[in-house]
């Protein structure tokens, strides 16, 4: 079967760095997405990786290793507003999205 | 647990026809379901929120007469795109919130999406 695994919850301190991991097993691969979702709001697109390596976009970076079925989202200089759920999703060979359950990130002062 | 399915996965239709997309929660009761549109590499755009047994709440700018939503049971919501036009071509994603005895959890479970192409 297909599945995406990511931690349920993480806690970090304001100003610090946090890495949210995502491992996947899917039938085919057409890219991996990271979304941020604040409570009661729609998910916001953060990144899309289809090739191996690190993509940096401001305070957020996303890494992909296709051979390991592994990705991480790196958040630097954490701010209180970064408290949210972070969703990992993989597009499979049928261009269907397989979603992780999301990681709830709690930022403490 | 907490699996959400959508049917069909792909649909191609002629302009002017209507298309129905189903969203099902397979192993839980979903008191609230959401319908989103997604354009490539963009954020999900919430179209409407539907609660079982009541009328859907549409976001500003979404035509309720064009995008008909029915949430007839605790496991099924349908989105019907009426008189579809090429500009309606998009990736439609549903999500569901689990509910138990009137209590709804915050976690949304997302479906795999339906790719609609209108010719």
CB-CB contact of A88 with A27 (8 Å):
no
Residue B118 CB neighbours (<10 A): 20
Task: Please report the pLDDT score of residue A37 as a whole number.
Answer: 92
> Which residues in chain A have their CB less than 8 angstroms from residue B115's CB?
95
In the 3-class helix/strand/coil scheme, how is B23-39 assigned residue by residue? EEECCCCEEEEEEEEEC
B33 reaches A (C-beta below 8 A): no
In this prediction, residue B103 has a pLDDT band, given cuts at 50, 70 and 90, of low
> Does A99 contact B109 at a Cβ distance shorter than 8 Å?
yes
B42 reaches A (C-beta below 8 A): yes
CB-CB contact of A97 with A90 (8 Å):
yes
In this prediction, residue B8 has a pLDDT band, given cuts at 50, 70 and 90, of very high
- Report how far apart, in Å, the C-alpha atoms of B87 and of each of B12, B57, B116 are: 13, 22, 10
Task: Please report the pLDDT score of residue A25 as a whole number.
Answer: 95
In this prediction, residue B1 has a pLDDT band, given cuts at 50, 70 and 90, of low
pLDDT in tens, A42-79: 888 899 999 999 999 999 999 999 999 999 999 999 99
> Does A98 contact B46 at a Cβ distance shorter than 8 Å?
no
The distance of A90 to chain B (nearest Cα, Å) reads: 10
């Amino acid at each position: 079967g297909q599945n995406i695994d990511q931690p349920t919850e993480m806690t970090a301190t304001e100003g610090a760095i946090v890495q949210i991991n995502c491992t996947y097993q899917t039938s085919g691969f057409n890219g991996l997405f990271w979304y941020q979702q604040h409570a009661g709001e729609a998910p916001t697109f953060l990144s899309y990786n289809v090739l191996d390596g690190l993509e940096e976009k401001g305070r957020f970076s996303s890494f992909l290793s296709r051979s390991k079925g592994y990705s991480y989202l790196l958040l630097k200089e954490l701010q209180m507003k970064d408290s949210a759920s972070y969703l990992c999703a993989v597009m499979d060979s049928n261009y269907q999205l397989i979603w992780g359950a999301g990681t709830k990130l709690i930022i403490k002062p | 647990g907490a699996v959400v399915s959508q049917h069909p996965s792909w649909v191609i239709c002629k302009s002017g026809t209507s298309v129905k997309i189903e969203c099902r929660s397979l192993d839980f009761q979903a008191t609230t379901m959401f319908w989103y549109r997604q354009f490539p590499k963009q954020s999900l755009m919430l179209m409407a929120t539907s609660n079982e047994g009541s009328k859907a709440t549409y976001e500003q700018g979404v035509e309720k007469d064009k995008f008909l939503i029915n949430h007839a049971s605790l496991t099924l919501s349908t989105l019907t795109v009426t008189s579809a036009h090429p500009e309606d071509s998009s990736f439609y994603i549903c999500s569901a919130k689990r509910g138990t005895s009137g209590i709804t959890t915050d976690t949304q479970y997302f479906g795999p999406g339906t790719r609609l192409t209108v010719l």
